[in-house]
A and B are shown apart, each in its own frame.
Chain A
């Protein structure tokens, strides 16, 4: 708990340094259109409409558009694709026209654009050192993000044997917990660490207490438990969709940060802060496992639960701690993801398979494996876009996972287990 509070403090200080000016008053839909290379897209026409209201604006030279709306409610927001510069198209075609819910104040909308519509041409032409170094940095950051999720996934697997298909939803829940706090008026600097703590207790400790502990007592098999995690994932996902709607949200602070240039590489300050904090969190987890009493107990339980329990370790307590830790790390990852991209009801699900790829790559159940696997997968996903279209980059990582299973099923750092 102490290290959590400390982490929260560091978090707050670092984020404060990049706080934006206060937002303008009035109800409006706002956004910044940026091309795949990060350059602003000017003169793109955007239309918002609702019953008895239509307004079309064009984005300014900085790519910013702002549509003042009379009141909160549902609006249909569409972008005139013909006004996009040549060779730029939506990453997600459904972004072209979407329905959004505006409450009050500024409603930020995010758009993702990618280059060309074939992708193939774009990849071949931009095989430059600048691009490669940018991808390496992106890959490192993505790897750290995955590691946050994968470490928790692997800790839970190690101690309980559960392959948790609802781990992605722990990310989503964390991101939404922060959104709720943020929209209640808390600055993200406060909302984020608070959300991590709340998630760790509510979605981690609480979930274990209400669901998994009773199931362990019932001696529900691991295969049945895996099916239960699927049911849980569906329930959580669609509850969030029901409560918050389908349109992407973003945190009120640090949303449209522009990147700092480090030579050829451009990185947003928030990414740097998050990545540093994430690395600290992961390092703290590892050293906690190595040093602290309960950390050692955790490793003992992962090794052999029956033996650990026979030697007087309170296995249930260890499992509780692992759930708290896993959910906290996942919530952190969710907020990280939510602030660098956007917060949606299925954001965690989209990352689940990549986390599994990382974990399988490193070896199910080994903590270093999860970290190494995550970094490899993160880099692989980003660098693979040099050769394959961006839309297929996850496919590459999943293929990598299947190949690894063929050659070294126990993963890079895993070990074989006993029969009989």
Chain B
């Protein structure tokens, strides 16, 4: 039983690339769900668009990464429009159904044999799609601290990733404290009331959908650059729901919620997983197989999502006054 290893893994992951990707996705959901009340159950589609834009444009078409990124962002806006136009005038559940359906449409399409030449089928796209980014790496050595181990490449991705998150968090903070933020929060509470005061709720909802989607797409781009591989089955709906759990853990409609949530979430998830693995390997737990650890982690996420949504939607550090409101 190597507790140092378990802790080290957990901390590395909690601050690492995966946490960054999920943090970005959750920041998008925070704008959409936390502030505007839009139930986007297909955030993973936006991430997939980002990741596949990089993969397809750089590897399949041999173009530059610096062309792929803006194209990916444009594609993301287009996706938001496609999702929003039919559904944003309708009740909230239609958006939820259509977004989750679309995320599956996208996954099934990129996975299909018919489009294998472009998207690589079930194997996805593998290759040095992030090279142009890694060429700019100013770091010369890996990090190997007792509780933190990153390769030089990871270190560079992590540095840029958290910087992006800092910038986007600042932007979110400015947005939600402005009159614009007031309108979207009003829409979350009661759309008709806001409309009756002369605000075009449809446009605001579309803006929130686009902005939140863009954040998810940035997450997908980071994914492709960091992992140098995109596979369709990385983009299952569960990614969206992990992001929701992260958002609720940190607190919906709280500017720092996604950051706090992503760090705690990945720390806990990796810690529980590694801890169980070690216990099983050491023979202390005999009723579980190593393959059982995966499902157990998912079960914890599922229970966490339910529990947080029911008891603490404003996050584990949330505002008591808001809690009192929910109890009315």
Assembly CA distance A63 to B206 (angstroms): 55
Q: Which of B91, B111, B305 contacts A231 (CB 8 A)?
A: B305
Q: CB-CB < 8 A to A117: which residues of B? A: 113
Assembly CA distance A248 to B249 (angstroms): 34
The answer to whether residues A230 and B305 also contact, given A242-B296, A353-B100, A405-B90 and a CB cut-off of 8 A, is: yes
Q: Which residue of A lies closest to B304 (CB)?
A: A231
Assembly CA distance A394 to B111 (angstroms): 13
Assembly CA distance A420 to B195 (angstroms): 12
B94 A238 Cβ-Cβ under 8 A: no
Interface string of A213-238 (1 = CB under 8 A from B): 00100111011101110111111111
Interface residues in B44-84 (C-beta closer than 8 Å to A) = none
Q: CB-CB < 8 A to B298: which residues of A? A: 234, 237-238, 241
Determine if B194 is an interface residue (Cβ-Cβ < 8 Å): no
The answer to whether residues A242 and B292 also contact, given A120-B114, A224-B309, A392-B109 and a CB cut-off of 8 A, is: yes
Q: Which residue of B lies closest to A397 (CB)?
A: B101
A419 B192 Cβ-Cβ under 8 A: yes
Q: Which residue of B lies closest to A232 (CB)?
A: B306
Interface string of B280-322 (1 = CB under 8 A from A): 0000000000001001101101111111011001000000000
Q: Which residue of B lies closest to A239 (CB)?
A: B299
A402 B101 Cβ-Cβ under 8 A: yes
The answer to whether residues A392 and B301 also contact, given A235-B306, A405-B94 and a CB cut-off of 8 A, is: no
Determine if B86 is an interface residue (Cβ-Cβ < 8 Å): yes
B114 A392 Cβ-Cβ under 8 A: yes
Shortest CB distance A333–B (Å) = 19
Interface string of A154-173 (1 = CB under 8 A from B): 00000000010100000000
Q: Which of A223, A231, A234, A406 contacts B37 (CB 8 A)?
A: A223
The answer to whether residues A409 and B306 also contact, given A224-B313, A242-B295 and a CB cut-off of 8 A, is: no
A224 B310 Cβ-Cβ under 8 A: yes
A241 B305 Cβ-Cβ under 8 A: no
Determine if A357 is an interface residue (Cβ-Cβ < 8 Å): yes
Interface string of B117-129 (1 = CB under 8 A from A): 0000010000000
Assembly CA distance A165 to B100 (angstroms): 10
Determine if A206 is an interface residue (Cβ-Cβ < 8 Å): no
Determine if A132 is an interface residue (Cβ-Cβ < 8 Å): no
Determine if A30 is an interface residue (Cβ-Cβ < 8 Å): no
The answer to whether residues A353 and B192 also contact, given A235-B306, A239-B299, A360-B94 and a CB cut-off of 8 A, is: no
Determine if B328 is an interface residue (Cβ-Cβ < 8 Å): yes
Q: Which of B91, B98, B306 contacts A228 (CB 8 A)?
A: B306
Q: Which of A226, A230, A238, A357 contacts B93 (CB 8 A)?
A: A226
Assembly CA distance A223 to B187 (angstroms): 13
Q: CB-CB < 8 A to B328: which residues of A? A: 219
Chain A binding surface SS class: helix
Q: Which residue of B lies closest to A389 (CB)?
A: B114
Shortest CB distance B177–A (Å) = 23
A398 B301 Cβ-Cβ under 8 A: no
Q: Which residue of A lies closest to B108 (CB)?
A: A395
Assembly CA distance A360 to B37 (angstroms): 21
Q: Which residue of A lies closest to B303 (CB)?
A: A235
Determine if A399 is an interface residue (Cβ-Cβ < 8 Å): yes
Shortest CB distance B72–A (Å) = 22
B102 A364 Cβ-Cβ under 8 A: no
Shortest CB distance B190–A (Å) = 11
Q: CB-CB < 8 A to A312: which residues of B? A: none
Assembly CA distance A264 to B70 (angstroms): 53
Determine if A142 is an interface residue (Cβ-Cβ < 8 Å): no
A409 B94 Cβ-Cβ under 8 A: yes
Interface string of B231-244 (1 = CB under 8 A from A): 00000001001001
B89 A238 Cβ-Cβ under 8 A: no
Assembly CA distance A228 to B303 (angstroms): 9
Tally of contact residues, B, Cβ under 8 A: 51
Shortest CB distance B114–A (Å) = 5
B104 A398 Cβ-Cβ under 8 A: yes
B295 A238 Cβ-Cβ under 8 A: yes
Shortest CB distance B206–A (Å) = 15
A163 B93 Cβ-Cβ under 8 A: yes
Shortest CB distance B325–A (Å) = 11
For A93, A236, A402, the residue with the greatest tally of chain B CB atoms inside 10 Å of its CB is A402
Determine if B143 is an interface residue (Cβ-Cβ < 8 Å): no
A231 B306 Cβ-Cβ under 8 A: yes
Shortest CB distance B304–A (Å) = 7
Shortest CB distance A142–B (Å) = 17
Determine if A119 is an interface residue (Cβ-Cβ < 8 Å): yes
Interface residues in A342-369 (C-beta closer than 8 Å to B) = 353, 356-357, 360, 364
Assembly CA distance A226 to B97 (angstroms): 11
Determine if B175 is an interface residue (Cβ-Cβ < 8 Å): no
B114 A398 Cβ-Cβ under 8 A: no
Interface string of B30-41 (1 = CB under 8 A from A): 000000010101
Assembly CA distance A119 to B114 (angstroms): 7
Assembly CA distance A23 to B304 (angstroms): 44
Assembly CA distance A228 to B305 (angstroms): 7
B301 A234 Cβ-Cβ under 8 A: yes
Assembly CA distance A420 to B296 (angstroms): 46
B313 A406 Cβ-Cβ under 8 A: no
Q: CB-CB < 8 A to A259: which residues of B? A: none
Q: CB-CB < 8 A to A165: which residues of B? A: 41, 96, 100
Interface residues in A90-141 (C-beta closer than 8 Å to B) = 93, 117-120
Q: Which residue of B lies closest to A417 (CB)?
A: B91
Shortest CB distance A103–B (Å) = 15
The answer to whether residues A353 and B101 also contact, given A226-B39, A226-B96, A228-B306 and a CB cut-off of 8 A, is: yes
Determine if A183 is an interface residue (Cβ-Cβ < 8 Å): no
For B87, B89, B101, B248, the residue with the greatest tally of chain A CB atoms inside 10 Å of its CB is B101
Determine if B105 is an interface residue (Cβ-Cβ < 8 Å): yes
Q: Which residue of A lies closest to B297 (CB)?
A: A238
Q: CB-CB < 8 A to A232: which residues of B? A: 302, 306
What are 9 residue pairs bridging A and B, where the CB atoms are less than 8 Å apart in the complex? A163-B97, A231-B301, A231-B309, A238-B302, A241-B295, A356-B101, A357-B101, A394-B108, A406-B85
Which B residues are closer than 8 A to A by beta carbons? 37, 39, 41, 85-87, 89-94, 96-98, 100-102, 104-105, 108-109, 111-114, 122, 192, 238, 241, 244-245, 248, 292, 295-296, 298-299, 301-307, 309-310, 313, 326-328
Lowest 8 A-B CB distances belong to which pairs?
Answer: A234-B302, A231-B305, A235-B302, A231-B306, A238-B298, A163-B93, A242-B295, A238-B295
